[in-house]
Amino acid sequence: MSDVTYEVTDGAAWLTIDRPEARNALSRAVREGLFDGVHRFNADDTAKVLVLTGSGEKAFCAGGDLKEMNDVALRVPPPDFLPQLGRNIDVPKPTIAAVNGIAYGGGFLLAQQCDLVVAAEHARFAVSEVRIGRGSPWAAPLSWLVPPRVAMKILLTGDPIGAAEAQGHGLVNDVVPAAELRGHTQRLAERIAANAPLSVLAAKRTVYLSASHTRAEAYERAEEIWEPVYLSQDAQEGPLSFREKRAPVWQGA
């Protein structure tokens, strides 16, 4: 059995870490499976949204496999140690983390780097590296996602925060009962997948502009990003379908 599975349901590609006996920890097999799964999603025209989750009810991902790290005496992880969406692997299409339990260390990393986060009510989040003497350079964008003092507390204490608190800080979009996590996330993915594909891709790029550009530069880049969308066939199809009172038929062109 693979430690990572991939399945597509109505436009949503579910990439699942399937190692519940180890709290879905990031073994080498899991890391390689995640890379393969993300590459597969990028190339899969039937998949419009990636959903990353873990199997079982206890853990989304507990982080690095500490036993394996000890066995190999891992020191500084290489840049390609595991997929960091938007950093060492480009993912133009939207991504959602469906957090079904604890998301600690590398599990926090995976959730943080998805575009949207849906969490079960019992989910917990922590950057726990300070408690085991490891590092979290990947947490550099955290103070862009949450207020700096919140990021500081998360990083300095290693204390877990619950799903409701994470939502209050803006780290999580939706919190739902565990039994509703998959259905809620699937419906969210389907709403995104039903939209004009070029507009969705451009919208994702636009959101991240302010993280690396001044306000004036962000406006200029946004104009460049959206011009091809305005000039596309889909930009004409939207108003036409509204006028004809029918569902739009997107071409992605």
Structural domain contains residue 105: yes
Same domain, 181 and 210: no
Same domain, 151 and 174: yes
Structural domain contains residue 48: yes
Q: Which residues of 38-76 are buried (b: 16+ CB within 10 A; e: fewer)?
A: beebeeeeebbbbbbbbbbeebbbbbbbeebbeeeeeee
Q: 26, 33, 28, 46: which is closest to 5 by C-alpha? A: 33
Q: What is the mean pLDDT of residues 25-36?
A: 95
Overall domain count for the chain: 2
Share of residues in the chain with pLDDT > 90 (%)? 88
Residue-number span of the structural domain to which 225 is assigned: 197-243
Same domain, 179 and 212: no
Same domain, 98 and 132: yes
Same domain, 141 and 164: yes
Structural domain contains residue 122: yes
Same domain, 122 and 224: no
- Look at residue 72 in the predicted model and tell me its pLDDT: 64
Q: Tens digit of pLDDT for each residue in 137-161? A: 999 999 999 999 999 999 999 999 9
Asked if residue 183 has pLDDT above 60, the reply is yes
Same domain, 138 and 97: yes
Structural domain contains residue 109: yes
Residue 108 sits in a domain of what CATH number? 3.90.226.10
Same domain, 62 and 168: yes
Rg (CA), the chain: 19
Same domain, 232 and 141: no
Q: What is the mean pLDDT of residues 12-39?
A: 96
Same domain, 64 and 151: yes
Asked if residue 203 has pLDDT above 60, the reply is yes
pLDDT category at 125 given cuts 50, 70, 90 is very high
Q: What is the mean pLDDT of residues 229-239?
A: 96
* Amino acid at the residue 136: S
- Look at residue 11 in the predicted model and tell me its pLDDT: 97
- Look at residue 143 in the predicted model and tell me its pLDDT: 94
Same domain, 95 and 128: yes
State pTM to two decimals. 0.94
Structural domain contains residue 143: yes
Q: Tens digit of pLDDT for each residue in 94-120? A: 999 999 999 999 999 999 999 999 999
Same domain, 85 and 185: yes
Strand partners, 125: 103, 161
Structural domain contains residue 252: no
